[in-house]
A = this chain, B = another copy of it.
Amino acid sequence: MIESLTRKQQELFHFLLQHQDRFTQPPTLDELCLAMGLKSRGSLHAHVTALIGANLIKPLGGKQRGIQLTDYAKTLINHQDDPCRLPYVGVIAAGQPIEALENISYMAIPEPLKTDKPCYILTVKGDSMIEQGIFDGDWVIIEQRAYARNGEIVVALVNKAEATLKFIEQYPHETLLIPANASMKALRYKPEQVEIQGVLVGQMRSYTKTQ
C-alpha cells in the first residue's frame, strides 16, 4: 500500500502521523496547506485522494469535517513511534468471526510480551486453550503474520468465516487445529480452508476485573 505512494504523498502521510495529536479536530485542507507550505487546496487534494486510495485516511462522504486517519494507518504509527502500545482490536471466540470493536483502543504492553513485529491484542472467549493456561476473558497478544510453525498457537480463520485460537499442525494435505482442552477434539481441515491471521506471543489476565 504505502510503497505505491509518491514522495509528496508519503510526506503528507508522515506529517499526519506525526502531528495527529496537534490537531484537536481533524485538520481541513487549508490548515494542511498552511502546515505544509502549499498555497492551493486543489494540489493538496490530489494527494489526499491518493492516501484515501491507499486506505490510510478516510473519506468523509461529502461531509466537511477534515481528514482522518484510518485504523489501519493508526496501527502503523503505533509500530513506528511507540513500540509499547498495541491496538486492542476485539474478541476472539471459537466458532465466531473476530468481533471487531468500533473504537480501537490501545494498551501499554510490557516489552517481553510482544515481538518486534506488528502485534495486536484480542480478548479470548471460551475454554478451548484452558490447559495451556489461557482462560475465558484473558487477553492475548498476537503477532500479525500469515504462516506458522507446527506446534505454535495461532489465530486461524476457517472457511473465511470462523476465527479460533488453537495449536496448529500443518501437513501437505491436512491442517489440524488442536485445542488444549481434553473435552474437545482436534479439528481437521484442508490446508486451503485455514488462513493464519497471527501467532500467539503473549497472554495476560486480570484478577480484579474478572471476578
* Chain A positions near chain B (C-beta within 8 angstroms): 3, 5-7, 10-11, 14, 24-25, 63-66, 68, 79, 81-85, 105, 107-113, 115, 130, 133-135, 138-139, 153, 200-209
Contact = CB atoms under 8 A, between A and B. Distances in A.
A108 B107 CA distance: 10
Number of copies: 2
Most chain B CB within 10 A, of A81, A107, A201, A202, is at A107
B107 A110 contact: yes
Contact of A83 (B84, B133, B139, B207): B84
Contact of A206 (B5, B11, B63, B112): B112
Contacts of A82: 108
B105 A79 contact: yes
A31 to B, nearest CB: 11
Nearest to A66: B7
A108 B135 contact: no
Given A10-B24, A153-B207, 5 more contacts: A81-B108, A84-B108, A133-B138, A204-B204, A204-B205
